[in-house]
Structure formats: structure tokens, C-alpha cells
Chains A and B, each alone.
Chain A
Amino acid sequence: MIKSELTRRGLLKTGAVAGAGLALPTIFTARANAFTNEPKADTVTFGFTVPQTGPYADEGADELKAFTLAVKHLNGEGDGGMLSSFSSKALNGAGILGKKVAFVSGDTQTKPDAARAAAKSMIEKDGAIMISGCSSSAVAIALQALCQEAGLINMVGLSHSNDTTGKDKKRNGFRHFFNAYMSAAALAPVLKTMYGSDRAAYHLTADYSWGWTQQASMQAATEALGWKTVANVLTPLAATDFSSYIAPVLSSGADVLVLNHYGANMVNSLTQAVQFGLRDKMVNGKQFEIVVPLISELMAKGAGANIKGIPGSSNWNWKLTDAGTKAFVQSYGKEYGAPPSQAAQTCYAQVLLYADAVARAKSFNPCAVVEALEGYKFDGLGNGPTEYRAADHQCIKDCLVVKGKETPDNQFDTLEIVQVTPASEVTYAPDNKMFAGGDLGQCNPGA
């Protein structure tokens, strides 16, 4: 028979010794690492957080394809894609600083809390050194804050809210994608040419960070043209039926509907607006028009014939003819049988830009990467000459005004490029009031 001699004092002593023992490796590890998840082995892991469900799942699927392709190219597999056109030659297709690149991915569900949980798991369990990807600015802002706290670099995916590099900007976060202000600045002159300066606009707006800033930017830009704003109605991100929001539009006196919606939200709201016959109506003696400030090829595909003739803006389009775009479209098209979307291009570019910054800095230390990216000027990634502005970590570059193509030549021919608006016409001061209130803070290497 075994007799237990366990006493309260004995239990406390044993617990204290065991606790100290368990804590020791962590302390040693923390001291041994100069920064969070410093890669020790011959592999470095990236964490890709993309929406695989929810209203932006289409973009998420394309982002993951682009990430996979970028990792392949970094590791010297495939045709190298935009590595050949990229102005920097620090990457040679042999991984980064001699380490092979691996990645883990997780579903953000287009929800900030789910995205944080996925990214946290990647950081703590998988040892991710960098987090990238998202299709929602609410998610982007949450991930940027998480990476700032954890001491990682966040290469923001598809995020278009002014706040991402405005009031919510972080030193450890970098955005390649353009923003709502730039969209409105590019789109407004084209809208004036298409529809004149005497218009009354009704806004339907996704009720979160991106929608708010997109609407504010469009309202400011169109009112500067002479347009009036009749109403701005906020719609929930999770909404699928917009009929009760669309029904009052025609009787409101508005002759333009601005859909500040993205992804499946926009596909549904545009489809339902067309069902209500908005585009067939004459209001105030003018043809009723619909504007979608941010359009992607994937949304155009989802909207089908309803997108024809609808103007909007894009960060990039596969029909551009520069060397970077050509290389990327060839590479992506051969791999997946379809041209890449703007979500794919921005995510691919972000991975290359991060890897290049590490290679130039000769370190994975986030603060060295920040230093390498701030004020960095580059070309050859599909958007023409671009600068990662040091003051707010926003890429300043050309952006596109596009329109749903009336007579598509094939299933991928959904959008036509109306004009490439030069960076000089869409740039703004970092302290512009639409971006006010934020502070990059200090770089955090973590650990």
C-alpha cells in the first residue's frame, strides 16, 4: 500500500519549484532572442491572415494564391514573377538571408476578433516573423495594432480606409494599397466629365472604418465639384438584403447612388439596385447613375452584367502594360488559369517588399525592416514609381479610374481602364484632416 504524505506546505513548495522550472526556459529564450520570433533554424515563417469566409471571401482566396506564389518565387521556384522587374535586386530567389520561406495561413472570417485570434496563434505557436493579408480595414487596423504590441511587422493586405495610415497608423505597419482619399481624388474629375457638376448623391455606406472614410472622402470630393449630398445611410457589414435601403433612393430626389460597399456587399447592393430598376430611371431630368468608388475585378465578376458602365477606382488592373504587371500576370495566370485581382497584386507586392527590406537591412529585426522600408522608393511592381512614405507608411503611387466594360471580349474582361491618375494628383499631406489624429509611435521589436 502506498501512503501519501502530501501536506499543504509540501504542495506549495513543490508548486513553487515546478513553476520556477517551467518559467526558466522562457526567461532564457526571451533573453536569447533579440526580437520576437527571431528565426534560428534554416526556415523563416510568414503568417497570412486572409478572409476565407464572409463578404470578402473572394478577395481572400485570391490573396492566398498570391501569397503562395510570392513564397514560391522567393524560394526560387517558378518563373520568378515580379522579381525580374522589381527595381531592387537584393533578392536572388534563394529564400531570405539564406533561409527558406515557409508560411501558415488562417481565416479572418472578415472579423477583427477572429483575425486577431488567427494571427496570435501564428505568432505564438507557429513562430511567424511577419503577418500579412486581410480584405477589411477593421481587420487591418486590428492586426496592425496586434503586430505593434507583439513586435512583428504587419504588411497590410487589402485595406482602403484612410484610418489604416491615418489615425490608426503604427510604426510596425505598412500599407501598399491605395486609400479612400486617393480613390475620391482620382474619381471626382472623371465623374464631373461623365455626369456633370449638378448632381444629387445618395450614399449607402458599409458601417465600419472603411465605409465611413470612403463616404467622407467621396462626399468631400463630389461636393467640391458642386454635387449635393442628399443622404448617407449606414448599412451593416453582414447585410445581404439591401432592398429596404435601396427602396427609398428613387423618391429621395437623388440622381446618383454612391455604393460605398465592397466585396459581396457591393455585389448584392448593386444587383438589388439594378433589380429596383434604378439605372433605367430619369430623375431631375437626368439619367439615374450608380457609382462604386472601389471596384475590383472579383466584384465585377460577381456582379455580372450589372457592372457594365459603372465607374469606380482600382489600385491596379491586370490589363496594365508595364513590365511588372506583365510578369505577374504571366506567372499568376500560368499557375491558376485566371488573371490576378488587385487584392492578389497588393499582397504579392507586400511579401516581396518585406523580403527585400530584410535582405537590404540584412536582418529580420522589425526595427531594421522599418528603417529599410521608410521612405523607400521602388518601381517594377505594377504601380509605376512608388514611395513608402516615412511619415505615415502609406505607398504613394498612381491609381486607376475604371469602368465596367460594356462589351467584354472574354470572361476576365470585366473592367476597362478609363485613366491612370498620376500619384501627384492623388497625394496629400500626411497631416491632412482626413488622416489626422494618429501617431506612428516607436518601432517595437518585441521579445
Chain B
Amino acid sequence: MDALILQTLNGLDKGSAYALIALGLTIIFGTLGVVNFAHGTLFMLGAFCAVTLQRIIGISETIIDPTKKDFLGNPLKVEVPYLQAWFGHDTAAAITNWSVPLSLLLTVPVMVGIGVVMERGLIKHFYKRSHADQILVTFGLAIVLQEVIKHFFGANPIPTPAPAEFAGSIDFGTMLGFPPNAIVYPYWRMIYFLFSLFVIGGVFAFLQFTTFGMVVRAGMADRETVGLLGINIDRRFTFMFGLAAVVAGTAGAMYTPINSPNFHMGMDFLVLSFVVVVVGGMGSLPGAVLSGFLLGILESYASMNWIKDIIPGIDQIIIYVIAIVVLLTRPRGLMGRKGVMED
């Protein structure tokens, strides 16, 4: 029982990332009808916003310390961050410690900018083209963007720690009456799960309870009729592309303490996120979220030792097995709508 609870918790943070990426993918597909293979890259770019802020905070002046030697026997060069020189050690240390949450302040405007430029500059030219063309161009864009990141940041994962206050883990087991260490869960993963619920709730509330959201939903259901009413639905859809980019980007930035970011992380999530969208149902926002968490949790269950003893390697294929089963039994996915991606 404790193992099941533990893997359920574990699946929640994976599911959070899947759900946030799939949510953005579905927003773009539902509004613009574009299959965006560059969406995983937006997740990666968000993560690198956190890395960039970490680098900015760490910009230093070099001071020679003649009392110490470096590995070559020369006087030691000591890097003193400008932040420390300007605001003192304690403030600089606090800002450095909280750099990941603070990076959201950078991530949001950057991702809005990237989203709008990407949509206006490239993707709008492919609205009326086939899905195959859209996939090719967005996949190409994804490769270009990740190579740009690789050029500037290198190919290696970059450690991006969570604030020290959230280091370590909470022993849920003892709260539930289990022996100590039976159900241990890291604080930051819990924060990430709560963050994803906040973002998902915010997006749904925005679409459900604002006039802007209502128009967008109407446009998703019947774009032509909304256009005939004199509403510039294209502009709203461009905004939604920016919003989807922000959702993916902030998801990436907050994910960095869980897994050190590297240029390829977007691709690692992309295929899984498309499976999540297909299982949830193309164009269904609740379906994307439900499917994201469901697949995250099932993936965690599949990595339990006794399950792998019965079916070796199941943890690597479980998501695809579920996708096959769902598509055979419910061809439109769990919450898919009739007429979406159907001739």
C-alpha cells in the first residue's frame, strides 16, 4: 500500500509536467489548428530562462587573492558577484538561493515574446497548410532552437537548485501511520505539483470566466461564425499562442530543480506530451490535463520492482501501451470531441 501511495505521489510531479505541456499543445491546436512540434522546445526555453537568470545573478568581477594559489600555482583569481558588491552578502545569497522562483519574472515576458514572434513570424503562414507541413516546419524550428541553446549553453545538464528552504523531503508515511521512511516525498516536487494545479486552474478560469476566454472558446467551436460577428479572432488566437508558450515556459523553469536542464529536454517531453494529448482527446483541455496526470501516475506504477519482475521493461513502454488501448477502445481519446482531426 505504501509503495502505491509513494508511486502515486511520484507520478503527480511527472504528470504535472506532462499536463502543463499537453495543455499548451491543446490550446494551440484547439485555437489555431496547428500541430506544434516545437512545443517541447518552449518548455526547454523556459528552463533556460531560469539558467539565464542564474547566470545573470552570478556575473562577477575577478579579484586576485595573492595569499592563495590556483591549480597552476598562480595567484588565485576569486570571482565576486556584482550583486554581492552592490547589495551585500546576505541579500546576494538570498537572491541566488531563490533564483528559480524569481526566474518566473523573466520567463513570463520572454515566453510571451517568443510565442508572439513564433506565431506571427512563422506559424501563421502555415494555418491553411496540411498538418504534415505544420509538423515539418515546427519540428525544424524545434531543432534550430535547441541547437541555438546548445551553442550558447553547451550540451551538458546545468545544475539549477531549488531554494535551500525546499531542499530535502517530507515523510508523509508517518502522518498516515506508516513506519518512518515508507513514503518520503521531496518538498520541491510537491511545490511543482501545486504550481501546476495553480497554472491549470488559472487557464481554465481565464477561459471560463472572462469575456476574452468566452470568445476564444466560441472561436474554438466555430471560428467562422465568430469572425462573421466582427470579432478579430486571429488576434485573440495569437494571444492564446503566447499564453500556451507561457504555460510551457513556466513549467520548464520550475522543473529545473527536479531535473538539471539541457538543450534536449524539450524533445524528451515532446513525444510523451503528444501521446498525452492523443490519449486525452485532440482539442480537449480537460482531456489533456486528465491524461497527463493519469499517464504520469501509471508510468510511476510501472517502474515498481514487482511489476517489472512480471513484465520486464514495462516502465519504458507503458505510456504507448495505454495509448494503443485507449485508441482502440475510444478512438477520439478519453475526452475527445467529435469532428476534431477527423475527415
Which residues of A are interface residues toward B (Cβ below 8 A)? 52-54, 57-58, 61, 231, 233, 236, 240-241, 243-245, 247-248, 250-251, 264, 267-268, 271-272, 274-277, 280-281, 283, 302-304, 318, 329-330, 333-334, 339, 409-410, 412
Contact = CB atoms under 8 A, between A and B. Distances in A.
Interface string B313-339: 001100000000000000000000000
Contacts of A251: 2-3, 6, 181-183
B147 to A, nearest CB: 10
Contacts of B138: none
B72 A276 contact: no
B265 A240 contact: yes
A302 B157 contact: yes
B208 interface: no
Interface string B153-164: 011110101000
- The listed residue with most B CB atoms (<10 A of its CB), out of A57, A244, A248, A330, is A244
B48 interface: no
B156 A240 contact: no
B186 A57 contact: no
B7 A247 contact: yes
Contacts of B185: 276
Interface string B205-223: 0000000000000000000
6 contacts: A53-B155, A241-B14, A243-B13, A244-B11, A247-B10, A302-B260
Interface in B42-61: none
B186 A271 contact: no
A431 B167 CA distance: 48
A236 B316 contact: yes
Given A251-B3, A333-B72, A277 B259 contact: no
B72 A244 contact: no
Contacts of A271: 159, 260
Interface string B184-217: 1110110000000000000000000000000000
Given A243-B189, A251-B181, A302-B156, A409 B68 contact: yes
B315 A244 contact: yes
A274 B162 CA distance: 12
Nearest to A303: B159
A53 B264 contact: yes
A435 B72 CA distance: 40
Given A267-B157, A272-B259, 10 more contacts: A61-B154, A61-B155, A233-B308, A240-B259, A240-B265, A247-B6, A248-B304, A268-B260, A272-B258, A281-B181
Contacts of A236: 316
B62 interface: no
A276 B169 CA distance: 5
B303 interface: yes
A61 to B, nearest CB: 8
Contact of A277 (B76, B169, B264): B169
Contact of B161 (A247, A248, A268, A304): A304
Nearest to B179: A251
A339 B2 contact: no
A57 B72 contact: no
A231 B305 CA distance: 9
A268 B158 CA distance: 10
A244 B155 contact: no
B27 to A, nearest CB: 25
- The listed residue with most B CB atoms (<10 A of its CB), out of A61, A250, A303, is A250
A264 B159 contact: no
Interface string B1-31: 0110011001101100000000000000000
Contacts of B76: 410
B156 A57 contact: yes
B171 to A, nearest CB: 8
A244 B298 CA distance: 11
Contacts of A61: 154-156
B188 A275 contact: yes
A280 B167 CA distance: 11
B106 to A, nearest CB: 22
A268 B265 CA distance: 13
Nearest to A263: B156
A369 to B, nearest CB: 33
B71 A318 contact: yes
